[in-house]
A and B are shown apart, each in its own frame.
Chain A
Amino acid sequence: MRLNISLFILIILVLFINSCQDDPGSLGNDLIPDKDRININTTNSLDGDFNQYSSIFSDSVGLGYSNRVLLGLYNGLKSEILMKFIFIIPDSVTDAYEADSLQILESCIEMKPSYKLGSTIPPDFDFQIHEITSAWSSLGFSRDSLAGLTFDNRNLGSSKTLLDTVFSISFDNDIVYKWISRQITETGENNYGVLFTPESQTKGVVGFNAISTISEIEDMPKLKIIISKPGEFIDTLLGTPTADIHVITGDFPQSPENNIVLQVGYTTRAKFVMDVSSLPTDIIINEATLHFYKDTVNSSIGSISSDSLIISMYGDSAQTKLSTNFVSVIFTRSGNEYSGKITGFVQSWLKSNSNYGVQVRLSDELRTMNRLELFSSSNPDKSFRPRLKLIYTTHN
């Protein structure tokens, strides 16, 4: 009994006395030995003269997922649109067709521009519309797929009105009748849609909302058809896209200044390596920021800018696979500079002593035809080259 009481009193005393103590302060700071002291250091790749390397390559992305389709010619690249329409056909129209009394009075394609690059006003912007005669799918369609596509050379578009807010193109009524017939009877020639292709004198690119967007139907391209059953009705039939994609072809984008060229649509990306091996390996990185500088003269940015990059760490020496240990980092634009924190990347390079660099790409590679040029690692002016800024902590 006496033991239990003693132990109980002891516990209470211990807890009470333990609560009566101060938080640690700077008292005794002068007696901390130098070998325990933390040193804070700053450096950057310019002052530290780090080696760096950059190169660009072409990759493929599924343009069928884009929420915008692009048409035009710019910077040596051509963008063509493939589009297929489906119609909402009421019974009265079906009855009229079956009674062989359906007439197509007028057909018109309306498309509202949601993106512009370069000169998009006639005569600097013009295009033709051709009937596609072979099957295609927007899933997996690439510029290589164009070689297997067949189309009729006849230009189905006429009388174009290309305004700032809407493009209106008169369309071939016979083709429309054929598509409606196919949709009602499910027999006859297939409806493979049309190919929009820019004329050679075009000096710009226009983008239109695609079916993967969540826009209202009002903002979608549509085929407006004025139909009639003589003596009975005149009505408007609406055709909306059931499949669409744009394909960009041309020569691989090059930069006479050896810049890093990030071309949307053609999907060029960059491989970039910043050699940090000159740093001590047992440091702790408090912050590492990487900066890319835009070449404003040679970049071509349309009505929708490219304001962010995605930086991903490579996981292999061949730079073919991205590391699964790190999430990609978003770099945002401030003025003519794109920057972001890659603290974990740099720490990993120091720890593992293997630095496979990063992949640089635009965050939006589908919806515009912007060309972003960044000064590369070989720029003669070192201050324009990509720059890594570090704050790190060392221990004596």
Chain B
Amino acid sequence: MKILKIIILFALLSQLIFAEGGSIYTRYGVGDILNTNSARRLGMGSLGISLPDQSYLNYLNPAAWSKLDLTRFEVGLDYQGNLTDDAIESKFYSNYHFSGFTFGFPIDKDYGISVAFGMVPLTNVNYEVAESKAEDESNPFSEVFNLDYKGNGGLSKIFIGMSYKLPFDFFVGASFDYYTGKTEYKSSIDFSDNSDFTDATFTKKFSYRGNGGTFGLISSDLSKMLAIDKVRNLRFGLMLNYFSKLDTDTSLTSSTSIGTINNDKDIIKTEIPFKLGFGMSFTWDENYLILIDYLYQPWSKFKSNGHKSYFLQDYSKASVGMEYGTRQTRFTDTFWEQLLLRGGLSYERTQYTFYGESINKFSVSLGVSMPLGLNNSIDIAFEYGIRGTNDSNLIKENLFNAAISFSFGELWFIRQER
């Protein structure tokens, strides 16, 4: 019941809150890439490809589910604040989105067989630019009017997959992914309420659907090979996320004086490039978990209806993350003893490029995990990033991200030994 309450609350909050503006960079491709739906991951740099986790579900690498010990459900809400500026002015925008849910349960712990499914957002489009045109000689309307350009939407992934433990303690996992979503771009001209002129709005809609898969591999514990006492659980991980060509319904809607006119256009193909990631994780001195990850996605190969975009380049992200806290909790531990603290750094060469300038992002993050009863937790994370540049009349953004996730674990589906 409480899970349902949280899902409904988060979903409603993200729908009811009126968000205006956002990053104009999201106009290109299918928007900003969301690498994680988890506050835990956000607090550690957003990735964590090589970390098999018994208390969390990582959709980035299905092999990571192999250590699940309880049926687990996770849901979250994300916030993004964007202080954006060019050489002349600055604006602050904020928006929220429901970061999806994941559900997983172990089937056979000895063989590392776990199943997980969920729905998570993959990309986010959100921007609005408004311009007022003065009443002057070049204005054919002879009165003030506003031009407004607005975009919203994004891609989501619905997945189901499982993990398995290979010989030599390697873990492998795979998920079948279904991609769906909608992006909408509105261009409108607005007059005052008492104007004799008719407002006009053009809305381009793209509705995506297609499938793909995610494959992951996590190595066994290689710490013994290093012979460093304080290093434990040294693992390497690899993931590959493949996208088929997405069928995309396109339409152009015009809002006119006689109502809305729909012009369904063609069904085109949208080609999202594959995503490849490498990672390393280890624990240091029992209580410190260290993650080092690299993610690559060649967005220069993105195509919409067979056309590439001159404003997209290959994407890459390198991150370092750390988590501090007691790795094995006991019933007798106090609240403070069960706290986990997190921090991370990351550097992204985003997929955006304009006028020969690459749009890059540097971020620092912090997070905390608080117990919420037995096997349950609330995770909170904050990330501050700087993206872009004012060179070449571009936009520089100070990004304030926050995430809250709830992780619930219960003992389901486990056959009791008689």
Contacts and interface: CB of A to CB of B under 8 A. Distances in A.
A25 B130 contact: yes
Interface string A1-36: 011001100110011011011111111111111001
Contacts of B211: none
A20 B91 contact: no
A27 B90 contact: yes
Interface in B361-418: 372-373, 378, 393-395, 404
A347 B189 CA distance: 16
B254 to A, nearest CB: 5
Contacts of B198: 284-287, 343
B354 A7 contact: no
B20 A36 contact: no
Contacts of A395: 187, 202, 252
Interface range, B side: 35 or more
A393 B200 contact: yes
A316 interface: no
B128 interface: yes
Nearest to A341: B196
Contacts of B21: 21-24
Interface string A259-289: 0000000000000000000000010111100
Contact of A351 (B200, B261, B378): B261
B393 A38 contact: no
Given A38-B188, A341-B196, A282 B91 contact: no
Contact of B89 (A10, A25, A30, A282): A25
Contact of B27 (A3, A20, A31, A40): A31
A21 B127 contact: no
B93 A14 contact: no
A245 B14 CA distance: 71
Interface stretch (B66-74, B77-85, B241-249, B281-289): B77-85
B226 interface: no
Interface string B301-340: 0000000000100000000000000000000000000000
Interface stretch (B140-148, B167-175, B216-224): B140-148
A26 B129 contact: yes
Contacts of A226: none
Contacts of B91: 22, 24-25, 27
A14 B258 contact: no
Contacts of B128: 24
Interface of B: 2, 5-6, 9, 13, 17-21, 24-25, 27-28, 77, 79, 81, 84-86, 89-94, 96, 127-132, 140-141, 147-150, 185, 187-189, 196-198, 200-202, 204, 252, 254-258, 261, 263, 311, 354, 372-373, 378, 393-395, 404
